[in-house]
Amino acid sequence: MCGVDVLASASEQEGFGRPFASALLAGISVELLDRPVFREFFTGGARFHPNIETLVKSLSQVSYSRLSHITYTAPVEAVEAYASAIKEIRRLGSISL
């Protein structure tokens, strides 16, 4: 994510949230809609907005740069879910039809 200062998403949901986790782990600011699924996994890293209008407004008011003050660690449940999904995908990929 070289040259990226912020990842903003107006998505209501996002599968495993890999782009958000990757951005946070790289020290990039993440701006999301305030939804339970995002709060569950990205509290402590992302900034949350109640609606698209406030998310967009916040982007025009803040100067972004790499975030050295945020230390984001993915929740254990998310890491386990990734590992389980990858294992299942590999298992299904090895089945002949």
Top pLDDT among 47 and 60 is at 47
Tens of pLDDT, residue by residue over 5-50, are: 888 998 887 777 888 888 888 888 899 999 998 888 888 889 999 9
Domain extents for the chain? Answer: 6-93
Prediction pTM value: 0.65
pLDDT grade for 4, boundaries at 50, 70 and 90 = confident
Instruction: Write the secondary structure of the chain as one string of H (helix), E (strand) and C (coil).
Output: CCCCCEEECCCCCCCCCHHHHHHHHCCCEEEEECCHHHHHHHCCCCEEECCHHHHHHHHHHCCCCCCCCCCCCCCHHHHHHHHHHHHHHHHHHCCCC
Write down the pLDDT at residue 50.
96
pLDDT grade for 96, boundaries at 50, 70 and 90 = low
pLDDT grade for 83, boundaries at 50, 70 and 90 = confident
